[in-house]
Structure 1
Amino acid sequence: EMNVQHCRLLLQGLSCLRDEGKHADFNLVYGDARTPCHKVVLAVYSQRMLGTCLQSSVNFLEMENNPEYLVEKLYHWTNVGLEDLDVKMSRAADELDIEFLVKSKQVQVIQSRLDIMERARLRVFSEQLLELWRNEVLTDVILEVGGASFRCHRPVLAAMSGYFDAMFSSGMKESEDHIAIELHGFDKHVVENILSYIYTGKADIDNANADLMFAASVYFQIKPLRNLCERFLCTHTDVDNCVDVLALAECYSCKNLADNILNFMKENIVELLGKKSFQKLNSHTLQELISSDDLIVPGEEGVLNLILQWFDRQDNQSEESLSSLLYHVRCSQIRRETRQRICGTNPHLAKYSSCQTRLLQVDEHMTSDSYRNDHVLLVVRPNHFSDDVDIVCYSFMQSAWFALNQITNFNPGGSPGICFHDNCVYISGGSGNLNNFVKYDCRSNDWTFLQRMGFRRFGHCMCGVGEDIFVIGGKSMPNDTFNTIQKYSIGKGAWSKEGELRIPVSDASCACVASQILIFGGSQSIVTFSHAIQCYDLKTRTCTEIGSFPKGVLTGIMRICSNEEYFFHVTAEGKLLQSSRTDPYESAPELIGTISQRLMMTAYSVVYYKGSVLLVSDTKTAQREAKVIRYSVTETKQLQCDIKKLPFPPDSNQYFAVVVNINKRHLSLPIMT
């Protein structure tokens, strides 16, 4: 079965081929006009056309009704109105006997008719295309690899693969129908997996074949499969394989994957130091790591030690190469006595005088050396008992809480909207001041009051996309839930009306996937909850309902976090649900566990961190001390959490948490808990 997102993607690719006049092998003729099509697409939607296309000598059909608009929408269902469905499509659909459209006349609920047609179109396309492929019907190309043969449809391959599109357009013998094309240098199981992805959107990727699948997706120019392989490699990267995965990314010039692996190395450099793979780092990669502000180390002495350990095990050693690495050590942050001791005991430093000079001739009072960042759990606490907003962070490396700059005179009241975007925390509204809008910059540790919202609200959710912040739903009075969406342009510093939800909700959670904002659950009134999953498309500025939570789930207040593959939804009673981030249309969120029994939270936030969900809440554990609970999403059980206590009294009505990097120069006020 093909997933919905892939179905749309494949049809979009076929539509582009048709627009460009590529690989069309059939024409619908209306008078003097011809509508070019692909046989496989026509056969998918119409049994009549399947019979016609199976007559190998026939490549056209004369029509009594103009089929152009109908064919266009079969490929790409956009901007279809009820009038278009009845007037522009109906007669041609009857003539071609396109069953799902003929049946549409029996649908009585006018408001949902177009949504029904869209779902029917995708279902028919996915089911019938797989049927044609599995039964080798209308296949016009044979791929041969490792003694195996695979029969496929040229337009389908070309729609998903730039490699096959170019091959079939070349005019060479490979572009001829029904010719066997031999693929050299590939494993037949990999090619079979590739074809399965092209036709279904699903591929079996595991630790044994991920590198081969990634290499093949790059070779065949199948970008969505390449992205899928990248996500797998990212989520399965550890300190033992990260150097090899980085080499793979660099081999195929995959900057996004390489950047993700480098970030992993920066965050885990202390653990990586003790692994054999550390010695396989090349000098260029090591310099990139140690020059970064995001290298997470206890202190600058640790950077010096890792350079010396790496250099000690290299075959090609030179004074120049060691000196170039030492250039990135921020020497003024290491005590002179420590530098002198290391220079006196390390044989390489004793041998290379220029390296000693670089380390020792440093003014201890220098302040030009910038501090590196620390990896922290940042917690923002609007407090309805105060006009202030507290903000603190927990350093995973130092195992300590630190106070950051708070904002005063904000008066958030209850349920302000909060989101994290581009290293900034944005806070808007709240029952205490319905129009306020502020930003906390994690880089500078500063707050900024921004232009106030033109629409008064609290209980809303927020999401950052590109250069914009979106404020969604909420209410201005306890029983006044609304559906408006506002947009704040970061560059222009101005608000504008954006669009509307299909279902008005407050206290929902939201997240962005590409150019879509997903809105999960929420409250419609004090006693009525929504189980719907809504999707707001930023390109079309329309909102649709794409799914729902299972019955019995408390969706009125819910928090969300995610990794590369999944969303994790945590309800106020501590239930943990999982849904697909890569294909939100695919299935309903699934209950995978309960974080802690007997919970009922009103103030909480959740964060995904290294395979676990961190629940930040006023709710005490059985030991009546820990305010952060760690729950493994893979083992589905609560684990020991090193963060023993939040540095707040339990009197907040909301928390917001995010894992982020904060410069160590801002971590000067440790908090005793």
Structure 2
Amino acid sequence: MDVRSEEDCCADEFFCRLQGLRSEGHLVDVTLCAEGKEIRCHRLVLSACSDYFHAMFGGAHSESKKDKIEIGGVSAEALQLLVDFAYTPKFNITEENVYHQFEAANMLQVKPVEDACEKFLTNNLSPDTCLEVWTLADNLSFVKLSAVARRYALKSFAEVCKTEEFLQLPIEFLKTYISDQGLHAKKEAEVLDAVMLWARHDFKQRKSHLKELLECVCFSGVDRDYLKNMMETDKVLSGVPGIKELIKDPSRHGKPRHFQQEEIVLLGGIMSGYDPPIVNQDVYRLNLDFDVVDKAPLTQIFQFKEGSAACVLDNDVIVTGGDKSMSQAWRYKPSLNSWTRLKSLKKGRKHHGMAVLNGDVYVVGGENRACDLITDVEVYSGKTNRWTKVAPLIYPVIHFGIATCCDKVFGGQMEHYCYRLSDEVQFYDSTRKEWDYATALPYALADIKACTINSKIYLVGGDLDRVLCYNPQEEHYEEMAKRLCRWNNCSATVSGSEIYITGGWARVIWNMNINPFSTVQCYDVSSDTMIMCKDLPLPLCEHHTVTVSKH
């Protein structure tokens, strides 16, 4: 049964009457014209819907006294749909009309339709549409939409290069695209191939642009044998004036791409279930497109422990604690796929936090096997392979976020064992060697992840519905982009100016079962935008992801 409020019914009746007046031609006082089509309507209704018409009819413009007004720059269909929206605030956006409607709504300043078109384009980005959306958003000065479309295009480079839109790119746009340091090309040879593909599409018109495009390629990153073979077999490439000198001179190459230099290590996590859970016993190496580079079993090394913690020290992964052997510590070398047992922690723990500060690993808080909360903080030195105690926390916490920033260990988002959430924040000052309180959170939180970029700390996960940014210098919190999907019990890791937020879970039946996710959300600090990426190779929660440099 459809239950509607009295206000809804009144609004429907009002707009129905308006439509009737227009259909009857009753009190219509202006006719809009576009592409030979005439649309009769009321100035008052148009002024109420559009700032453009409000200014036109309410000021000293000559159009304010005209019976017929030619509207240039919009199609007849787009104008008709906007006028219909003014009389009945309903609007059907489709893939076929969204671009024209977005431009028309922007020109005629119909903000609800503008916003709806922007949301539609954002939610329907694909390799076939991202370049067109990027261009359109730039032309209309929609900064956020432009940034989202740009990031999608950069991360989907291989797929975008296969589209007709890529082949039709103007030279300057193409240069901007392939010169971006965030371009996700698995190999620099892919960029070279893309340039040659674009040039060959209309070689007669484009051959004069080929050399300036090739200067955007980092030839030092192209496999020598591959390049030699291309020079011997591709007459177009070998025929570019000065190509041999360009290849040999690194100072004239494009810059090496940050994307090619890092990968993500994924460890453990819960795949399904609750009691007992099914635990992932593999370690994955992933590129930043979340393709699997390598996979190795953990079972012969140790049983992965729920509630453990992980961080990166000198490009190795340090893993400590967890439900099984709570005092164990391990060092994993991704380059060798080898594990080394470290000295045990002085106090076993789970649901704790880890961070690296000044070359040392800090293990903070958590709880012991008896579920007593721990205030002890231990520090691991890679030089001595020993754990030592430092000043304890002001009070014990579990399921909190921890990050290093401004030469301090920042411990935030705390939860007491009795599941009473806290808005308190503690930080460790390595100069004074003691803990103190920092600016409290705007609301109580737990189960969040903290990531440091450009001397600011970004909080994600848990019950947050958006990214929360903490500025330690100004002691200020700011709400940033909204999450795109649930992220409870997720993991988060940083590459460049981006935070990759992976997995998470939703409880199916309270305290009985959980449903892990394989989703990957990517938050870009520089543009304050969030996009969805390719999924993890398996659904996970309570797992670890860390970023390491490739060897």
How many angstroms apart in 2 are the aligned matches of 1:209 and 1:429? 48
Secondary structure at the aligned position of 1:400 is classed as: strand
Counterpart in the other structure of 1:322: 210
Q: How does 1:517-596 map to 2 (within 5 A)?
A: 571-573=506-508
Instruction: Give 2:21's aligned residue.
Output: 136
Q: Which residue is equivalent to 1:262?
A: 150
Match of 2:365 in 1: 411
Checking the alignment, whether the CA contact within 8 Å between 1:169 and 1:175 is kept in structure 2 is yes
Shift of 1:280: 0.9
For residue 514 of structure 2, the aligned residue among 595, 601, 613 is 601
TM-aligned CA distance change 1:273 to 1:358, over 3 Å: same
Which letter does structure 1 place at the counterpart of 2:508?
E
Query: In the alignment, residue 288 of structure 1 is paired with which amino acid?
Result: T
Contact 1:438–1:450 under 8 Å retained in 2:
yes
SS at match of 2:104: helix
Q: 2:41 aligns with which of 146, 151, 162?
A: 151
Q: Which residue of 2 aligns with 1:494?
A: 475
- The verdict on how the C-alpha distance between 1:200 and 1:470 changes in structure 2, with shifts beyond 3 A counting, is farther
**Of 258, 272, 276, which residue of structure 2 is paired with 1:371?**
258
* Partner in structure 2 of residue 622 of structure 1: none
Work out whether residues 284 and 292 of structure 2, in 8 Å CA contact, stay in contact via their aligned partners in 1: no
Check conservation: 1:344, 1:350, Cα contact below 8 A: yes
Fraction of identical pairs, as percent: 16
Which position in structure 2 is the counterpart of 1:356?
A: 244
Instruction: Report the CA distance between 1:203 and its aligned residue.
Output: 1.0
Q: Is there any run of 5+ residues in structure 2 with no aligned partner, and where?
A: 271-282, 296-309, 313-317, 319-354, 356-361, 368-396, 404-409, 429-434, 491-502, 523-531
Q: Kindly tell me: are residues 470 and 248 of structure 1, through their superposed partners in 2, closer, same or farther at Cα, counting changes over 3 Å?
A: closer
Structure 1 residues 127 and 573, CA gap change in structure 2 (3 angstroms): same
Matched with 1:618 is: none
Give per-residue Cα distances to partners, 1:184-216, cap 9 Å, x unaligned: 675555334213434555311112211221121
Q: Select 1:273's aligned residue among 140, 161, 171.
A: 161
Task: Quote the offset at 1:132 in angstroms.
Answer: 4.9
Distance 1:261 1:453, change over 3 A: closer
The one-letter code matched in structure 1 to 2:513 is M
Other-structure match for 1:49: none
In 2: Cα distance, 1:338 partner to 1:452 partner: 55
Question: What is residue 161 of structure 1 aligned with on the other side?
Answer: 50
Deviation at 1:600, TM superposition (A): 1.2
Mapped contact 1:392–1:401 kept (Cα < 8 A) = yes
Q: Is the 8 A contact 1:380 1:655 kept in 2?
A: yes
**Corresponding residue for residue 273 of structure 2:** none
Does structure 2 retain, via aligned residues, the 8 Å contact 1:143–1:150?
yes
Residue in 1 that maps onto 2:550:
668
CA distance in 2, matches of 1:316, 1:415: 66
Question: What is the distance in 2 between the residues matched to 1:149 and 1:311?
Answer: 46
Alpha-carbon separation, structure 2, partners of 1:129 and 1:144: 23
> Quick one: which of 524, 537, 540 aligns to 1:643?
537
Deviation, 1:361, is 3.5
Output the amino acid matched with 2:475: A
Which of 416, 425, 429 lines up with 2:414 in the alignment? 429
Letter in 1 for 2:19: R
* Secondary structure of residue in 2 paired with 1:297: coil
Mark the CA change 1:376 to 1:192 in structure 2 (over 3 Å): closer, same or farther: farther
- Please give the TM-score of this superposition, normalised by the length of structure 1: 0.46
Distance 2:92 2:217 in 1: 44
Q: Provide the rounded CA distance (Å) in 2 between the counterparts of 1:645 and 1:571.
A: 12
Q: CA deviation at 1:511?
A: 9.0
Summarize deviations over 1:74-132 as a string: whole Å, max 9, x none. xxxxxxxxxxxxxxxxxxxxxxxxxxxxxxxxxxxxxxxxxxxxx99x76984565255
Deviation readout 1:575-599 (Å, 9 max, x if unpaired):
9xxxxxxxxxxxxxxxxxxxxxx97
Superposition pairs of residues 508-519 of structure 1, within 5 angstroms: none
RMSD: 5.6
Q: Is the 8 A contact 2:32 2:69 kept in 1?
A: yes
TM-score, normalised with respect to structure 2: 0.54
- Contact (CA 8 Å) 1:412, 1:431: kept in 2 or not? no
The whole-number CA distance in structure 1 between the counterparts of 2:14 and 2:265 is: 49
Residue 76 of structure 1 corresponds to which residue in structure 2?
Answer: none
SS state of the match for residue 492, structure 1?
A: coil
Partner of 1:535: none
- Number of residue pairs matched by the alignment: 393
CA distance in 2, matches of 1:247, 1:292: 16
Q: Deviations over 1:276-328 (max 9, x none)?
A: 33221121121111111221111112111211222222344677622221222
Q: Residue in 1 aligned with 2:386?
A: none
Aligned residues of 1:570 and 1:606 also touching (Cα < 8 A): no
C-alpha distance 418-192 of structure 1, shift in aligned 2 (>3 A): farther
Which whole-Å CA distance do the structure 2 matches of 1:369 and 1:558 have between them? Answer: 35
CA deviation after TM superposition for structure 1 residue 574, in Å: 8.1
CA contact under 8 A between 1:300 and 1:329: conserved in structure 2? yes
Matched, 1:400 2:302: no
Give the match for residue 99 of structure 2: 211
Gaps of 5+ in 1: 1-118, 384-390, 440-448, 475-486, 499-509, 521-556, 560-567, 576-597, 611-631, 633-639, 647-651
Secondary structure, counterpart of 1:601 in structure 2 = strand
User: How many Å separate the matches in 2 of 1:461 and 1:246?
Assistant: 32
Decide whether the 8 Å contact of 1:349 with 1:356 is kept in 2: no
